[in-house]
């Protein structure tokens, strides 16, 4: 269970979002992150589910209810919901599960037509992942521009926000877990390992070598991209924020100062919901 401070003034006086809480879900390729926000923006509860494309809406509704029961959370407190998804086959499933769980609450799904206030300067804005959009919305609210946002998920994405708070660039490359699965699958003598904080830079056995190699390779990629971004765009001061499941393992070994915000995507979803319910 997690909590964070509220954002004063985040809810307008229109009353469209009242004392009821907001359910936010970020559906990724490997896991589903869930957060429950108060109207003022405090994270009251957060947890993760494993992604399973074979499960039905009823099965997901049961899974969610069981977790809420563990935390003795009253489902009646939630009357609003928002979903970001990069897994189209699960978007409808989770949406229906949420409606069943919260008695008809229809989730807002991040996509074309949703208000975000983002100034997007890429060729095809509709191709941006909903998680990238949510990350950008939250980062602009929380950090001084220009900003680089590193989301270390199944794929690693690095999003650039310029000094005018415009989303200008996105880099996508294999993520930590994807790299680990690829090398374990394609190299017959390399095992599947559980990643952990590197105890040393160099490994003296196979497991330690793989652990250090995978994590440091990703850290070097972050450092390299940040250096290139700063020189290409002549940026002296760049806010660098990391999120995603592997952020807490990779960020500490980067040479670049990186701020980790575990719930950045969920916070962005909160801001997007407020934007669409009060304007």
Measuring CA to CA, which residue among 150, 157, 154 is closest to residue 127? 157
CB atoms within 10 A of CB 228: 11
Token pair for residue 156? Answer: 């690693």
CB atoms within 10 A of CB 213: 16
Determine which one of 7, 26, 131, 151 is catalytic: 131
The reply to whether 131 belongs to the active site is yes
Q: How far apart are CA 48 and CA 26, in angstroms?
A: 9
Q: Which 3 state secondary structure label does DSSP give 82? A: strand
CB 134 within 8 A of CB 270: no
What is the SS3 assignment for 139-175? HHHHCCCCEEEEEECCEEEEEEECCCCEEEEEEEEEC
Q: Which 3 state secondary structure label does DSSP give 273? A: helix
Catalytic residues: 131
């Amino acid at each position: 269970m997690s909590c964070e401070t509220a954002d004063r003034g985040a809810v307008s006086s229109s009353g469209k979002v009242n004392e009821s809480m907001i359910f936010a879900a970020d559906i990724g390729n490997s896991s589903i992150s869930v957060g429950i926000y108060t109207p003022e923006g405090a994270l009251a509860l957060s947890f993760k589910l494993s992604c399973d494309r074979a499960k039905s809406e009823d099965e997901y509704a049961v899974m969610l209810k069981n977790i809420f029961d563990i935390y003795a959370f009253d489902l009646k407190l939630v009357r609003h919901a928002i979903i970001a998804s990069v897994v189209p086959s699960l978007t409808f499933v989770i949406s229906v599960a949420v409606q069943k769980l919260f008695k008809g609450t229809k989730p807002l799904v991040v996509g074309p037509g949703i208000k975000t206030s983002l100034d997007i300067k890429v060729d095809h804005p509709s191709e941006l992942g909903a998680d990238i959009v949510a990350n950008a919305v939250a980062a602009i609210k929380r950090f001084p521009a220009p900003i680089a946002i590193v989301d270390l998920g199944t794929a690693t994405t690095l999003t650039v926000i310029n000094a005018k708070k415009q989303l200008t660039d996105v880099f996508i490359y294999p993520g930590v877990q994807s790299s680990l699965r690829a090398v374990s699958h394609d190299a017959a003598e390399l095992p599947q390992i559980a990643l952990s904080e590197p105890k040393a830079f160099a490994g003296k056995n196979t497991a330690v070598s793989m652990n250090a190699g995978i994590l440091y390779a990703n850290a070097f990629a972050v450092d390299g991209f940040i250096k290139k971004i700063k020189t290409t765009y002549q940026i002296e001061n760049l806010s660098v924020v990391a999120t995603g499941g592997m952020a807490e393992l990779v960020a500490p070994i980067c040479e670049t100062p990186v701020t980790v915000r575990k719930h950045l995507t969920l916070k962005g979803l909160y801001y997007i919901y407020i934007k669409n319910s009060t304007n």
